Amino acid sequence: MAHTESERCSTATQKQSEYFYVLTVQKPVDRGFAVQTSHGTATLPDGVSRQDAFTWAMEEMCNHRPEMRGGNVTFFSLEPNRL
């Protein structure tokens, strides 16, 4: 599942920056594992914590794929969305 739309997480008067994220979660199922990777952009207020951004990304993934709730994070990256 890819999230390519920007997410607005604050008011228009607060300074914001756009970030690109990648999140991979793995969860045991039957005799194997389910693996889900989510990626996209998020526009976050300046000063937001990395933990808050991670929590947001996990909630987004679990809202779209509830069966991944409680899985183990195998990868998480959050970087400014610019070259």
For 19-60, how does the pLDDT look when each residue is reduced to its tens digit (9 = 90+)?
999 999 999 999 999 999 999 999 999 999 999 999 999 999
Q: Which strand ranges, in their side-by-side order, compose the sheet holding 32-45? A: 32-45, 16-29, 72-80
CB 75 within 8 A of CB 23: yes
The whole-angstrom distance between residue 25's C-alpha and the CA centroid of its chain comes to 11
* Sign (positive or negative) of CA dihedral 66, 69, 72, 77: positive
The residue among 76 and 5 whose pLDDT is bigger is: 76
Q: Which residues pair with 76 in a beta bridge?
A: 23
Say what the pLDDT of residue 67 is: 94
pLDDT(6) > 80: no
Per mean pLDDT, which range of 4-13, 30-39, 70-79 is the poorest?
4-13
